Amino acid sequence: MKAEIYRVSGRYRLQTIVVSNSLIAIPVSPLFERVVVEAGPDVADDWIAERAVAGDIVVTSDVPLAARCVGSGATVLAPNGRLFDPDSIGMTLATRNLMEDLRSVGQMTGGPRPFAQKDRSAFLNALDTAVVRLRKLGFGAG
């Protein structure tokens, strides 16, 4: 989804930070910043969660990270366009934890369905909606 994020960020002139524990290529533009954190479990997640605030849009499929960012007021989207919000994140986190517990005791739970073109379209729509909503609230204007 990086290409889609870069395209939307460029259209709206949004500062975009890409956080990872390895070097990732990003477009050359003052709008895009790359942050490389040290390797380790949840180091990138911690960096993101510690800085996410209201007005930010965080894109992640990691439910615990989504919960942390929702808790700090950020808008959080999954790559399939699903919005994680205060009304849904508790049940989503509980379901994720239950499935993890089942897998840890040997239960076969399957995985997410394959990513499809409709997911890409849903993500782009959700991202555009989030940007417009936040701008109407006074974030990122100008």
Host domain of residue 127: 2-136
CATH of the domain at 15: 3.40.50
Instruction: Look at residue 79 and tell me if it is in a domain.
Output: yes
pTM score: 0.83
On whether residue 141 sits in a domain, the answer given is: no
In a domain, 142, yes or no: no
Task: Compute CA distances 89 → 3, 8, 44, whole Å.
Answer: 26, 25, 20
Reading the chain (142 residues) residue by residue, the pLDDT tens digits are 899 999 999 999 999 999 999 999 999 999 999 999 999 989 999 999 999 999 999 999 899 999 999 999 999 999 999 999 988 877 777 776 677 777 778 776 666 677 788 989 999 999 999 999 999 999 975 4
* pLDDT in the model for residue 116: 82
123 located within any domain: yes
Least Cα distance to 118 among 81, 78, 90 occurs for 81
Round to whole Å and give the CA distance between 20 and 48: 10
Residue that is written with structure tokens 């942390």 in the block:
68
- Predicted pLDDT of residue 38: 96
Would you state the pLDDT for residue 109?
A: 62
Total domains in the chain come to 1
